[in-house]
Structure 1
Amino acid sequence: MSCRRLLFIALFCAHFSAWAHKASDSYLVIDARGSEVIAQWDIALRDIDFAIGLDGDGNGEITWGELRTRQANVAAWALSRLEVQRGGPCPLKLTALQVDTHTDGGYAVLHLAGACPASAGDLQLGYRLLFDLDGLHRGLLRLTVDGTTHSAVLSPTSGTLRFGPDAVSRLTQFRQYLVEGIWHIWIGFDHILFLLALLLPAVLVHTKEGWRGVARFGAAWREVLWVVTSFTAAHSITLSLAALGVLALPSRLVESAIALSVVLAAANNLYPVVAHRRWVVAFGFGLIHGFGFASVLSELGLPADSLVLSLVGFNLGVEVGQLAIVAGFLPLAFVLRHSAFYRRGVFVWGSLFTVLVAALWLIERAFDLKLLSR
């Protein structure tokens, strides 16, 4: 492989990694009791910088001083994209500004408070943060109305949502967490790359002469079924244990291990160490990926009255999201399995691309570095 090609791949991976490291999320927690409303809104510093600019000296790092200097602008920008109503508009004001760290970097923590015209009835919420700049942005909402907790993923199609003080049905809670599970596998680029790295060789067979296409679709499907089932079973175990507070691991260790799993899975395609029974690899690393999914649930919060049902819904949502990826990938890969385009372009170059991207993630996460900007 020429140095020019390697340089091109490295630059492309750096560009890809800059935006694919993690999808844009904000975390909004609202507690409405009677006419009083208090809220905490965690917004990524990189998102605020992208929208209104924070990095005054242009050095690629956002300091507390730079954030504090723009405090009024940040509050005005954020609050112009959030509407809360109960009997009429509930104007919110910034009461405090802090900084916190999530697994993907620094976040501005906006503490908000306000009062509504009415002290009873449904609460309406309109959310449109960053939707004009990033259609993939989502808001993770946990909202309590007079003691009743709701959760939702806010998207550009959400519109104005209505939440009541009455208890949410178990079916509704199950559906909410099902949708959230689907969404979070689709925006979990590291989880997707790990899964694809295991799926790439599913339509191939490794022989002494190298990789060749499988003879029948059934053989590829059985391989994929074992891989996906093993991955699902493994991450369901650790996701449940972590979400219930039975086990806990440092987030940097988990995120680094997830990146390492992607590196190893893709590298195994280039230099096969485990050419068969890849389901064992999927199960082993799936245990680590489960802790990554658990971080999402920790932000959303699990309803105390239906812990098991919500966990089942989220896990099932992840499984549905995975099967959708498989359904789109496997038939096309099977058709192209004998072609040089697939065996060299997709399989070899795709695996190399995945190794390089995941290696950048691993370095960033393990050493807490900011190699790439958005």
Structure 2
Amino acid sequence: MRRSIWLVLCVLLMGQAALAHESRPAYMEINEVAAGRYDVLWRTPVLSGMRLPIALKFAEGVQTVVEPVESELNDSLIERRVIDAGPAGLVGKRIEFVGLQASITDVLVRVSRLDGTLSTTLVQPAQPWIEIAATPGAFSVAGAFLVHGIEHIVGGFDHLMFVFGLLLLVGNGWMLVKTITAFTLAHSITLALATLGAVHLPGPPVEATIALSILLLAVEITRKNRGEASFTAQWPWVVAFSFGLLHGFGFAGALAEIGLPQRDLPLALFTFNVGVEIGQLMFVALVFSLRALLLRCRLPRPAHLYARPVASYGLGTLAAFWFFERISSFWS
């Protein structure tokens, strides 16, 4: 019966992962270059060749003095303009993101002033506007990157599928605690090193190799199901630590996409990583909660017999799809 629970969980989780797209945030950077005058950079992600339908709407009295100029990247469109908000500047004025409420995308907003102060705010669809505050504090930076860390791991299905593979391989108990801890410690190390510029790896190969790590984990789960000796099954925390170093570069790539406030770099890095861990623990708790719920149900015998093989092959198939998809993107 316990084996069949993994089948149901695997079908549910991988069905969502196969259909879902990772939600990349939009990004807005406002730099005050003179009293009341600002350079504005507005970046919106491109999904399936289409730009995210979000438009900027500034408060009354804010004038565009240099018309928007657009440039196109592989995964986003960048728009630059210059605005004038008058002697009082943007303080107390609202910027609206029209259309954000109909999406699942957030907007990370960074505002830099002439006095050197910097504020970072995460705007969500539930409240698709921002009001520029007079005295930004560290709490706004911490809150923004904490939420972004949670949202990144929850939307990063490849990372979650690796964690799910660890659950399939190890089960529960003390060894699972050691394995998850090793994975967490490893990706925290490389996240910090990559973000601080000590180590750099190109993003596309990292993403492809992350998919490959899930595929290799699925192979090891299959070997364990057959009763074959496996280093991964005996020392899962070592494997989790090794692959965790790789996954940390993937997290760093997400931070590189939105940028980090140099003034609050340690705080932003720390809270983003805490958010990732919170999201990871939420996922583990969800899996075990669903497992406990399904244990109360009676499933047919075929599900009991083929649960773990189907789960491992399904995980491997999904990982192989991701791997070849990401390899093919090298030349697209």
TM range (shorter): 0.7 to 0.9
- Cα distance 1:246–1:129, how it changes in 2: closer, same or farther (>3 A)? farther
Sequence identity (%): 30
Distance 2:138 2:302 in 1: 48
Native 8 Å contact 1:145 1:164 kept in 2 = no
Native 8 Å contact 1:30 1:144 kept in 2 = yes
Native 8 Å contact 1:83 1:89 kept in 2 = no
The TM-score normalised by the length of structure 1 is 0.72
Please report how far the alpha carbon of residue 299 of structure 1 lies from its aligned counterpart in structure 2 after TM superposition. 2.8
Can you list the C-alpha shifts for 1:28-61, whole angstroms capped at 9, x where unaligned? 222244322322222233366276xxxxxxxxxx
Unaligned runs of 5+ in 2: 1-13, 225-229
Native 8 Å contact 1:42 1:110 kept in 2 = yes
SS in 2 for 1:275: helix
Native 8 Å contact 1:228 1:322 kept in 2 = no
The TM-score normalised by the length of structure 2 is 0.80
- Cα distance 1:21–1:365, how it changes in 2: closer, same or farther (>3 A)? farther
Matched, 1:293 2:251: yes
Task: Map 1:208-357; keep pairs closer than 5 Å.
Answer: 220-272=172-224, 273=230, 274-333=232-291, 347-357=308-318
Native 8 Å contact 2:195 2:255 kept in 1 = yes
Can you list the C-alpha shifts for 1:306-335, whole angstroms capped at 9, x where unaligned? 322222211111111111111111243356
Aligned match of 1:127 in 97, 100, 121? 97
Moved more, 156-165 or 292-301: 156-165
Native 8 Å contact 2:101 2:126 kept in 1 = no
Moved more, 247-256 or 19-28: 19-28
Please report how far the alpha carbon of residue 175 of structure 1 lies from its aligned counterpart in structure 2 after TM superposition. 2.7
- Cα distance 1:263–1:234, how it changes in 2: closer, same or farther (>3 A)? same
- Cα distance 1:44–1:302, how it changes in 2: closer, same or farther (>3 A)? closer
Matched, 1:99 2:82: no
Which residue of 2 is the match for residue 38 of structure 1? 39
Matched, 1:158 2:131: no
SS in 2 for 1:284: helix
Which residue of 2 is the match for residue 137 of structure 1? 105
SS in 2 for 1:328: helix
Moved more, 227-236 or 345-354: 345-354
SS in 1 for 2:147: helix
- Cα distance 1:336–1:224, how it changes in 2: closer, same or farther (>3 A)? farther
Distance 2:81 2:303 in 1: 53
Unaligned runs of 5+ in 1: 1-12, 52-76, 204-219
Amino acid at match of 1:125: I
Task: Map 1:175-214; keep pairs closer than 5 Å.
Answer: 175-203=143-171
- Cα distance 1:32–1:158, how it changes in 2: closer, same or farther (>3 A)? farther
Native 8 Å contact 2:45 2:51 kept in 1 = no
- Cα distance 1:343–1:197, how it changes in 2: closer, same or farther (>3 A)? farther
Q: How many residues align?
A: 309
Distance 1:355 1:321 in 2: 23
Calculate the aligned-residue CA RMSD, in Å. 3.2
Distance 1:276 1:341 in 2: 28
**Moved segments of 4+, more than 6 Å:** none
Amino acid at match of 1:254: V
Distance 1:14 1:226 in 2: 28
Please report how far the alpha carbon of residue 369 of structure 1 lies from its aligned counterpart in structure 2 after TM superposition. 6.1
Amino acid at match of 2:95: L
Can you list the C-alpha shifts for 1:171-230, whole angstroms capped at 9, x where unaligned? 442232222211111111111111111112343xxxxxxxxxxxxxxxx14233222211
Distance 1:318 1:341 in 2: 37
Which residue of 2 is the match for residue 20 of structure 1? 20
- Cα distance 1:329–1:344, how it changes in 2: closer, same or farther (>3 A)? farther
Matched, 1:82 2:56: yes
Distance 2:173 2:324 in 1: 34
Task: Map 1:60-79; keep pairs closer than 5 Å.
Answer: 78=54
Native 8 Å contact 1:267 1:355 kept in 2 = yes
Native 8 Å contact 2:31 2:39 kept in 1 = yes
Distance 1:159 1:39 in 2: 18
Amino acid at match of 1:285: F
Distance 1:179 1:269 in 2: 33
Amino acid at match of 2:22: K
